Structure formats: structure tokens, C-alpha cells
Structure 1
Amino acid sequence: MTLPRVPFDDRGLAYGDGVFETVLLRKGEPVLWPYHLARLKRGCQRLGIPIPSQEALAATWGGGASATLEVLKLIVTRGSGGRGYALPETPAPRLLSRRTPFAPETARWQEGVTVRQCRLRLGHQPVLAGIKHLNRLENVLARQEWQTPNIAEGLLADAHGQLIEATSMNVFWQQQGCVFTPRLDKCGVAGTLRAALISQGVVREADVSLEATPSVERLWVANSVQGVWPVTALLSEDGVCLKRWPQNASDRFQTVAHQLLGYVSQ
């Protein structure tokens, strides 16, 4: 595969001036595409970047179906030009894409995962909240907080201590039999699986503090590529176990989410 070259003056490379999507392909077709397209459009509109045409986007996964699962990564930058932070007078957005074979970590579906609380706190920027822009330095710094392979994810709170997301997944919890996910109107990435679950009435938005997380009935981390990982152990920033949840063989939330992703027969 020949990868596209990004010129030195590309604004996505220089400033993170762009957005991206990570899409599960099943038999060459994008899963949850309407939700990915909606978030891509929302991100481009927030940044003032012209949205790629439907034809250009479809060409990134065209060219034959694959018998295996794949992940398609799409990157849209503002392109080149402009002096410093000033925008180019006539932007020429750059669309980059890559397809790679993929296999979900099914053991984590069945056995659950250990997650930890992160020290890093997310800053508030409502203009960028929810979109998947290219500047993900907060997530990069948070992911540096642990190297042990037995920890699958880190939970991130904002400056006020409210749970927002995991480093690369959304967070869901159960309380009194209902499933909730954090509000993302000030920071965080609004995932496409999350959006689909909310639109179907499976999940509701609510607030919970990172400190109160050990008190929830159940906890999950999930995204539209890996699916749903039940959390069986929560560690503090210092590695102290705060809570263990028994792995439940009957996980209705996971079942509903995996139906959306086509993982039912995996």
C-alpha cells in the first residue's frame, strides 16, 4: 500500500487543524456510517473546513469488499497555506485515508478489563467539545501514565472532577438498572457507538464524579471499533484497587451495542 505524503506546511501536521474518523469496515462497508458522517460534518463546520464530497469519502472504502474486518482511518486537514495561524484565503482541504486489517479483542468482551483513574484533567473548550479534532495531546499525555499491559484503559475527568471519557473510548455506567454516559458539552469526544445507543434510547446522559465511580453498579468502556469491554476492576491513580465488579455472563448492554456493530455472531 502506498501511503499519501503530507507536505511540511500541512496545517493538520503543524497545528492539529483538522478532524479524523476511525471506522469499522465489515465486508468493505462502513459500520455506523451515518453517525461517523454526522460527526465529521460537525467537526468540519466547527473548524470552518469545507466538507469532503460524498464521492471522495466513498472512494476511501471503495475498491472491493474484504472477507475480514478492517479499520478505515479518515483524516481531513485544512490543507496548506495561510501565514502562521491565519487561515488561507482559499482553503484546499486534504483528505487522507488508510485501511488496515482488524480483529477485535474478544477475550476482553468475555473476561472484562482493568481500568485506572488518570491524574491528567481535561480542560474545558465547548467549541471543540464532542468533535474528533486532530489535537489529542491530552489523551496522549494521559496514556503515558501507565505501561502495564494488564490495564486496558484510563478514565479521564475534567478540572472539576467530573468523569468524561476514557483515553480512547467512551464510558458507560449502570445505576438503578439504567445505563448512563457522561455529558460531553464542555470537553471529550462523542463516539459514534455512543451516539447510536443514545438515539435508540438505550443510554442517557448524566453527570458522575470520578470519585464516585467505584459506587456504580456496573461500568463499561466502549467504542465503535473494539465494541464493549465490561470493567471488572478499577484502580486509583496510584494503582490501588478501588472496586471489583463480578463479570456477568448476561450483559444486555453489551449485547445491544454489539448488535449495532455486527459483532453478535463473532
Structure 2
Amino acid sequence: MLMPQVPFDDRGLAYGDGVFETVLLRAGAPVLWDYHHARLVKGCQRLNIPLPSMEQLIASWQSPPTAELEILKLVLTRGSGGRGYATPDNSHPRLMSRRTPFVVNADRWHEGVNVRLCQLRLGHQPLLAGIKHLNRLENVLARQEWNDPSIAEGLLGDTDGWLVEATSMNVFWQQAGTLFTPPLSQCGVAGTLRAALLDRGVVQEATIALNAIHEVDRLWVANSVQGVWPVSKLLSETGATLQTWPLLGQDRLQEISHHLLGYSPTSR
């Protein structure tokens, strides 16, 4: 673990001035690391924060694993200094990490999940779109909209009404046999599993209105830690059922994604 304590004047604490990554470790090795590193590089470039060396990053997972699956969280802030919002002339970034054992919720792979539409709308800021910066207040507020444990996720649209993402996952849908995911040029987090699927041509970007998502043939939420959850029921902001989808035995999106993550299709 690196730098477990954060000073009061740390800019990440004060302003959300930094980025983070949440990485699945399998037997101590990071999964989809090239994609996590690429997003970290992009985030540092966008915020003008010096990038840690690869040696510093690798050190965060060099201790012996405590479980077959772990979650590595990397937090990089600009460090301390500066006056108000003005950044210091010479930044000294602060890198922190934590590893925790992880048990995947495989029941959601096989049984599907309920999701709901969120009332909150994401604002547009292209400079921050795609990166995993530390200011996630929109997601925090959206997640406060429900406390029903039977609802696994909430879908977020932007101020123009287009579907963007879920509160902590990316969204995928199928229409006429083709798999799609929303573009994230204005807002949202570009997940690493999403990036891998786009690179392989498994999915393609397309826009869809949030209020039309109930019309798709199939719907999923997914990320590089939890894997792919098929959506079995979609609820409105008020809890009314908008659509239900039957669970089908063959799931190409899940099969390819879980192969990339190293998850067994028969795991329980």
C-alpha cells in the first residue's frame, strides 16, 4: 500500500484534482492493464498532472496476493500546494493504492438484474469526458436516488436526453443483431472493458435517447470488475416497469467479455 494517509492540503481531497483507476487483479496480475494505463495517461494529460513512472505503478501490485481475485484501487492526485484553484508551479503528484480481496457476484451473470432510470442528468464537459477523474459528484447524487437492494444499477442520460452510462458501469444494447454502446465525447467514463470490446469490433458506438432504451432487443450493464450483467427488468424514475427481457442461454457479449476478464462462463 502506498501513501495511506492524505494531508489536509492535498488537492485531490480539496478539489477532486486527480484521477483514479479500479483494476481487477487475478492471482496478483492486473487484468486489462494496457487499457487502464492508457486511460490513466489520458487523464493525466487532460489535467496536466505528471504521470507516475511504470515502476511506481507496478510497485502497487508487487506484494503477494491475498486472494485469487483482488481489487486494486489507484488514486493519483496533483499533490499539495498552489493557491486556491491555481495549481503549483511544480507539482509533486501523490500516488496512493489499496488492494482488497474480491468475490464476484456471479448470480447476476446468470439471473440478470433490475435497473432503473435516474432523474439526474449529466452535464457536458468534453475536456473531462471519458477519463476517471476524482470529482464523481454526479454519480454520487444519482446513486442516492434509490435504496432498493433489488435494483442493481441506474441509467444516466445527459442534458440533451441521450443515454450515456450507468452510475458505475457502461451500458450496451442489441438491436437487429448488432451490439451498441453510447459515445462518450461529452461526458461519462470510458470503461476499460468497453474499450477492449470496441477495439475488437464486438460493439460499435451509437446514440439512443434515454426514453427509448426500453425499445431495444436486449440490454446489459458491464465493467471490468463485475463483468457483464444482462438486464431483465427496466424501471422508470418512479419505479414503474417499462420493459422486461427474457434471459437467453447464448450471450455473445458476456462470453467475449468474460473471456477477456478471465471469468469462467459456468462460475457460480
TM range (shorter): over 0.9
2:117, 2:259 → 1: CA distance?
29
Alignment match, 1:98: 98
CA contact (8 A) 2:3 2:95 kept: no
Q: List alignment gaps of at least 5 residues for structure 2.
A: none
Distance of 1:140 and 1:63 partners within structure 2? 32
State how far apart, in whole Å, the 2-side matches of 1:24 and 1:52 are: 20
Alignment partners' CA distance in 2, 1:138 and 1:121: 8
Q: Which amino acid aligns with 2:235?
A: L
1:122-137 correspondence to structure 2 within 5 Å: 122-137=122-137
**2:150 corresponds to 1:159:** no
Quote the residue 2:25 is aligned against: 25
Structure 1 residue 3, shift from structure 2 partner? 6.8
Match of 1:146 in 2: 146
Letter in 2 for 1:93: P
- The answer on whether the counterparts of 2:161 and 2:209 sit within 8 Å (CA) in structure 1 is yes
Q: How many residues align?
A: 266
What code does the residue aligned with 2:84 have?
Answer: G
Q: Deviations over 1:9-67 (max 9, x none)?
A: 00000000000000000000000000000000000000000000000000000022444
Q: Percent identity?
A: 68
Q: CA deviation at 1:209?
A: 0.5
1:2: Cα distance to partner? Answer: 8.8
Q: For residue 180 of structure 1, report the CA deviation from its aligned partner.
A: 0.3
* Residue in structure 2 matched with residue 113 of structure 1 by the alignment: 113
Residues 126-150 of structure 1: per-residue CA shift (max 9 Å, x gap): 0000000000000000000000000
The answer for the alignment partner of 1:74 in structure 2 is 74
| Corresponding letter in the other structure for 1:201 | G
What is the correspondence of 1:169-180 to structure 2 with a 5 Å cutoff?
Answer: 169-180=169-180
2:14 counterpart residue number: 14
Runs of 4+ with deviation above 6 angstroms: none
Two-structure CA RMSD over aligned residues (Å):
1.1
Shift of 1:249: 1.5
Residues 52 and 28 of structure 1: CA distance in aligned 2, closer, same or farther (over 3 Å): same
Superimposed CA distance per residue, residues 136-192 of structure 1 (whole angstroms, 9 cap, x where no aligned partner): 000000000000000000000000110000000000000010000000000000000
Name the CA distance, whole Å, in 2 between partners of 1:18 and 1:258.
30
TM-score of the pair, normalised by structure 1? 0.98
Does the CA-based 8 Å contact 2:2-2:97 persist in structure 1? no
Distance 1:206 1:251 in 2: 20
Say if 1:117 and 1:240 are closer, same or farther in 2 by CA, change over 3 A. Answer: same
The 1-side partners of 2:7 and 2:23 are apart by 25
Residues 26 and 66 in structure 1, CA contact (< 8 A), matched pair in contact too: no
**Corresponding residue of 2:254:** 254
TM-score by length of 2: 0.98
User: Which sections of structure 1, spanning at least 5 residues, go unmatched?
Assistant: none
Provide the C-alpha distance between the structure 2 equivalents of 1:63 and 1:90, rounded to a whole number of angstroms. 31
Preserved contact between residue 179 and residue 202 of structure 1 (Cα < 8 Å):
yes
Match of 2:223 in 1: 223
| Deviation readout 1:54-81 (Å, 9 max, x if unpaired) | 0000000002244420000000000000
2: CA distance, partners of 1:240 / 1:208: 21
Distance 1:3 1:99 in 2: 13
